[in-house]
Amino acid sequence: MTVTLSKFNILRSGRFLAMPVLVAGLMLGSAVSTKALEIKSSDVHPMGYPTTDAIAYMSELLESWTSGRMKIKIFHSMQLGGEKEALEQVQLGALEMTRVSVGVVGPIVEEFNAFNLPYFFKSTDHMHKVVDGEIGTSLLNKLEAGGLIGLGYMDAGSRSFYNKVRPITKVSDLKGLKLRVMQNPIFVEMVNSMGGNGLPIAYNELYTAMQTGVVDGAENNPPSYESGKHYEVAGNYSLTEHLMVPEIFVFSKKVWDGLSALDQQLIRKAAAMTVTKERELWAAREQRSLDILRSKVINVITEIDKGPFIKATEPVRMKFGGKFADLIKKASMVK
Ligand code: GTR
């Protein structure tokens, strides 16, 4: 009698009420859909990186909610090649999901290039408010026309230059340096505007390109520079923080359209929780990567006067941002 009563009390307390409701919804779901679904998802990063670990968490959520009926198989560490190819595979429906940088999404939905402009976001907080708000949501929706379902934005910090020739402390230090960029013309012009030579190369070819001297260096955030061991071949890292490009994870519309409404809902719910998880993992990893780099006596240059870098890249913002003047204005007003 006492036991029954206390159970009843627990169920009545607001804190626990959500759980039975969710479970009931999911049980209804398994009655509706019994089709097993293994979602293949690719990432250029290894396991243990915030993005891959976040997708592993998403898999755990889906598995537990559906008693193993739905799960994600992660193809990490560039097993499926670069990001441009992964996006193409997802568009074709050969791959269900991928996590890529917004940097390579510009060629599919042009407006994403607003987020790819140098020194565009004012801070991480500003970026979160833009991508999580009306602007970010409307861009995710536009992906549908390109055969992709946008599931959410993840953090990727700020990108900075590294190279094996000399430390960059001022704009003129870029002169003549061959620097790899992501495959999007905006980034080539960004490097060129600062006096360097920007070369678009896929991420999976970058380490070798630096090692063999095809390029002198590249640019990325601390976790990628550290986890990709790029410091082994390009030891001068200067925190110019010229780009704050978010990550995105997308689902194949071709596959999505064949899923039950409930499965779509479960994926959306898991995706929202995955975004939060990745951002927590990211914050911790960014600091840890900088600590690891310093412990390896990598030349991390933090004292950079960003003013001249912002000025040098103004023509790039003018040239590529002109088309999205309204979006840019709206984003700059987001508080
Ligand atoms: C990383 C990002 C990857 C990839 C890579 C690159 O920061 O997480 O998705 O875009 O940069 O430079 O290609």
* Residue 311 confidence (pLDDT): 98
Q: Which two tokens stand for residue 177?
A: 């340096």
pLDDT, position 25: 52
* Residue in the block written with tokens 């508080």: 335
Spacing of C-alpha 302 from chain mean position: 24
CATH of domain 159-244+297-328: 3.40.190.170
The span from the CA of 134 to the CA of 55, in Å, is 24
Per-residue pLDDT, 297:
77
- Say if 5-155+247-286 and 159-244+297-328 have the same CATH topology: yes
Pocket of ligand 1 (CB under 6 A): 44, 83, 100-101, 103, 156, 182, 203, 220-221, 224, 247
Residues 6+ apart with CB under 8 A from 106: 112, 113, 116, 184, 186
Mutate to test the pocket of ligand 1, among 224, 226, 230, 237 (most ligand atoms within 8 A of CB): 224
- The pLDDT assigned to 298 comes to 85
Instruction: Please list the pLDDT of the chain residue by residue as tens digits (335 residues).
Output: 333 323 323 333 333 334 344 545 555 544 456 789 999 999 999 999 999 999 999 999 999 999 999 999 999 999 999 999 999 999 999 999 999 999 999 999 999 999 999 999 999 999 999 999 999 999 999 999 999 999 999 999 999 999 999 999 999 999 999 999 999 999 999 999 999 999 999 999 999 999 999 999 999 999 999 999 999 999 999 999 999 999 999 999 999 999 999 999 999 999 999 999 999 999 999 999 999 998 997 899 998 999 999 999 999 999 999 999 999 999 999 99
Q: What is the CATH number of domain 5-155+247-286?
A: 3.40.190.170
| pTM score | 0.90
Domain ranges of the chain: 5-155+247-286, 159-244+297-328
According to the model, what pLDDT value does residue 243 have?
98
Q: How far is the CA of 16 from the centre of ligand 1 (A)?
A: 40
Of all protein residues, whose CA lies closest to atom 5 belonging to ligand 1? 203
Listed in sequence order, the residues at least 6 apart from 317 whose beta carbon sits closer than 8 Å to its beta carbon are 117, 118, 119, 120
